[in-house]
A and B are shown apart, each in its own frame.
Chain A
Amino acid sequence: MTIEVKNLVKKFGSFKALDGVDLKVNDGELLALLGPSGSGKTTLLRIIAGLDWPDSGDVAFNGEDALAQGARERHVGFVFQHYALFRHMTVFENVAFGLRVQPRAVRKDEAAIRARVKELLDLVQLDWLADRYPSQLSGGQRQRIALARALAIEPRILLLDEPFGALDAKVRKELRRWLRSLHHEINVTSIFVTHDQEEALEVANRVVVMDKGRIEQIGSPDDVYETPATAFVHGFIGESIELPIQVEGGVIRLGDQPLALAADGLAPGASKLFVRRHDMLVGPPGSGTFEGAVQHVRNFGPVQRAEVALSGGETIEIDAPRDRELRAGDTIGLNPRRYRIYAGA
């Protein structure tokens, strides 16, 4: 099933949750909507599910207008951040719900329903919890049951709203890997919303980065990390050093200091220089593009994270390998191995 979203606009009062969103999702894809809270990603997901309605724009499934149908007819599996399990039903009945509410004409008989629920509980590896109530489960178990419940109706599309947002870090990592292999197995077109870049980059085939109701970039996890399309994407994905610079007459200046960086093809005016923390290479004083004094060093396994006060007055954080130990008070030269410049302040 493909999903096509065209020029979607949704306002809540004066707040623009979606501001002209266009998106195409391919059949069988696992797509991540990534953005900070308030970026409109959950609103987009809810509109695709039929739980919210846009002010204008189109949503089509396989070329068919989806907005003409309610959530009930769309056949979309939805997994909520807080699980939304039916608290008065057992795990078994939760998963069976979608099968039991089908119109009499197409409803399966009791034996078939039982077999299907058993199959789904096996799929999420929780068949031993069938008689428990949601309150007796851990967060990770609840979310897997919620997923089994959504899959019971054999959805054409699977939508997951911050599925691991309420779980602790360790469980989250396990479930991430599990979701990826599950998607490989069932291969249904899936979109999941997250504000966790690591999650998006690790799980998804493609990542959609959103900010303020607009799509900033669509691309593979490598694309959005290696070639961020906008300053926002560079700042949001991966750990970046951000420096305000001026481009004037072919020269880049940080404050009043000219930098030995190529300014070819850059528009003059205020711009932003982005460097990944680990792309800032440390050298002896006087050897680099930047000069700075080490303020503070912390060690994180293979890297040392140093706070460096640049001679221009800015303070940055760099990640350096531990082959040469840095100490507070050292004066060092810094050279960006790779960098990107975006016009605009």
Chain B
Amino acid sequence: MTMQIAEPVSLTPPDARARAHAAAARDSLRTEPPAVRVVIIALAVLFLSVFVVLPLVLVFAQAFSKGILAYFAALANPEALSAIKLTLLVAAISVGLNLVFGLVAAWAIAKFEFPGKTFLITLIDLPFSVSPVISGLVFVLLFGAQGYFGGWLRDHDIQILFAVPGIALATTFVTFPFVARALIPLMQEQGTQEEEAAVSLGASGLQTFFRVTLPNIKWGVLYGVLLCNARAMGEFGAVSVVSGHIRGETNTMPLLVEILYNEYQFVAAFAIASLLAMLALITLIAKTVLEHHLDEGQDVNDH
């Protein structure tokens, strides 16, 4: 019996042909011709340059337009220093409060079943969906001279509105969702098994939290804190309503930028704005690093 070979071809061409075929199949998945691809990418880059990069560059250009000395002189101005201090203080307070509240809320939502859970999740998102100006007005309604607690506060000589407590409250309200939002999906995904294992091994509630839960969510916590901090320092609307714009006392950096700009002090205005822009850049870089860690955490999670 003889073997019949239907197509007497050498071994390499089918191999090469298969490879070419695979490449063609891959290309046919992206049906757009190369020219269209280039145009789309160029459009995206152009849009980003005009609307994001250009303004950022302009901020720094304006800030340094009268030279580096003028820049630092503007920052050393007592009003500017007081605004920077107030911004840092308010951010510290609201990030601290939201860290605690966010952890508690995320814990409750991720680890327990209770009626009204969906409602609570919706409520957490409220500050995102409400205009910051309204968030500020709520506090005016509560603590203003004509507000619900206004009389009582005046009698006891407690100043909330047009002072640090009011600014901190408004900022905390506006930035509440960040930490909780970063943690809820993470904690839901991780489930409760590791905690159950810890408890059955004899760990107390606190030991379980600090040795098991917290290490597992630390990158998520940092991520939430980072975004919360960026928003807290940059918040304008809510703070503008409750601050009273008292110079050197209740002006945060964003408020001072507006005031200085309206007074045609461009170098000073943009010098402070450049600090906020730098905060944004640092936040972006830190965010990228943290997201990398969060992804790694997920890989570890596979069963």
Interface flag for A101 (CB, 8 Å): yes
Segment of B64-72, B154-162, B190-198, B265-273 engaged in the interface with chain A = B190-198
- Provide the A73-99 mask, 1 if CB < 8 A to any CB of B, else 0: 011111010111111100000000110
Query: Which of B203, B215, B216, B300 is the one whose CB lies under 8 Å from A72?
Result: B203
Interchain CA distance A35-B202 in the complex, whole Å: 30
- Provide the B273-303 mask, 1 if CB < 8 A to any CB of A, else 0: 0000000000000000000000001011111
A97 x B201 contact (CB < 8 A): yes
Interface flag for B93 (CB, 8 Å): no
Interface flag for A54 (CB, 8 Å): no
Within 8 A of B (CB), among A154-195: 166
Contacts of B193 in A (CB 8 A): 80, 82, 84
Interface flag for B211 (CB, 8 Å): yes
Interchain CA distance A166-B85 in the complex, whole Å: 55
B196 x A51 contact (CB < 8 A): yes
A86, A133, A139: residue with the most chain B Cβ atoms closer than 10 Å: A86
Interface flag for A135 (CB, 8 Å): yes
- Provide the B193-229 mask, 1 if CB < 8 A to any CB of A, else 0: 1101111111110010001100110000000000000
- Provide the A96-135 mask, 1 if CB < 8 A to any CB of B, else 0: 0110011000000000000000000000000000000111
B94 to chain A, nearest CB (A): 29
Interchain CA distance A83-B200 in the complex, whole Å: 13
Contacts of B216 in A (CB 8 A): 87-88
A88 x B203 contact (CB < 8 A): no
Interface flag for A278 (CB, 8 Å): no
Query: Which of B211, B300, B302, B303 is the one whose CB lies under 8 Å from A101?
Result: B211
B140 to chain A, nearest CB (A): 45
Interchain CA distance A146-B204 in the complex, whole Å: 20
Query: Which of B200, B203, B215 is the one whose CB lies under 8 Å from A78?
Result: B200
Interchain CA distance A21-B91 in the complex, whole Å: 56
Query: Which of B200, B207, B211, B301 is the one whose CB lies under 8 Å from A87?
Result: B301
Residue of B nearest to A52 (CB): B196
Contacts of B212 in A (CB 8 A): 86
Contacts of B215 in A (CB 8 A): 86, 88
Contacts of B204 in A (CB 8 A): 72, 101
B303 to chain A, nearest CB (A): 5
Interface flag for A200 (CB, 8 Å): no
Interchain CA distance A86-B301 in the complex, whole Å: 10
A80 x B197 contact (CB < 8 A): yes
Contacts of B211 in A (CB 8 A): 86, 97, 101
The total of interchain contacts (Cβ-Cβ below 8 angstroms) comes to: 76
Residue of A nearest to B218 (CB): A88
Known: A97-B203, A153-B202. Contact between A78 and B196, CB under 8 A?
Answer: yes
Contacts of A153 in B (CB 8 A): 201-202
Query: Which of B197, B202, B297, B299 is the one whose CB lies under 8 Å from A84?
Result: B197
Interface flag for A71 (CB, 8 Å): yes
Interchain CA distance A83-B303 in the complex, whole Å: 8
- Provide the B215-254 mask, 1 if CB < 8 A to any CB of A, else 0: 1100000000000000000000000000000000000000
A101 x B201 contact (CB < 8 A): yes
- Provide the A130-144 mask, 1 if CB < 8 A to any CB of B, else 0: 000111000100000
Interchain CA distance A51-B202 in the complex, whole Å: 12
Known: A80-B193, A101-B203, A101-B211. Contact between A87 and B300, CB under 8 A?
Answer: yes
Residue of B nearest to A49 (CB): B200
Known: A86-B212, A88-B215, A101-B207. Contact between A77 and B200, CB under 8 A?
Answer: yes
B302 x A135 contact (CB < 8 A): yes
Residue of B nearest to A146 (CB): B197
B300 x A133 contact (CB < 8 A): yes
Residue of A nearest to B195 (CB): A84
Interchain CA distance A49-B193 in the complex, whole Å: 13
Interchain CA distance A50-B196 in the complex, whole Å: 10
A101 x B197 contact (CB < 8 A): no
A197 to chain B, nearest CB (A): 24
Residue of A nearest to B197 (CB): A84
B202 x A135 contact (CB < 8 A): no
Interchain CA distance A70-B202 in the complex, whole Å: 10
A147 to chain B, nearest CB (A): 12
B242 to chain A, nearest CB (A): 41
Within 8 A of B (CB), among A282-320: none
- Provide the A60-77 mask, 1 if CB < 8 A to any CB of B, else 0: 000000000011101111
Contacts of B202 in A (CB 8 A): 72, 75, 98, 101-102, 153
Within 8 A of A (CB), among B176-202: 193-194, 196-202
Interchain CA distance A70-B201 in the complex, whole Å: 12
Residue of B nearest to A134 (CB): B300
Interface flag for A276 (CB, 8 Å): no
B197 x A78 contact (CB < 8 A): yes
B191 to chain A, nearest CB (A): 9
Residue of B nearest to A136 (CB): B300
B196 x A98 contact (CB < 8 A): no
B200 x A76 contact (CB < 8 A): yes
B299 x A149 contact (CB < 8 A): no
Known: A98-B202, A101-B201, A101-B207. Contact between A71 and B302, CB under 8 A?
Answer: no
19 contacts between A and B (CB under 8 A): A51-B199, A70-B199, A71-B196, A72-B200, A74-B200, A75-B202, A77-B200, A84-B193, A85-B194, A86-B211, A88-B216, A97-B201, A101-B198, A101-B204, A133-B300, A139-B303, A146-B197, A150-B200, A153-B201
Which 3 A-B pairs give the minimum distances between C-beta atoms? A98-B201, A84-B193, A135-B300
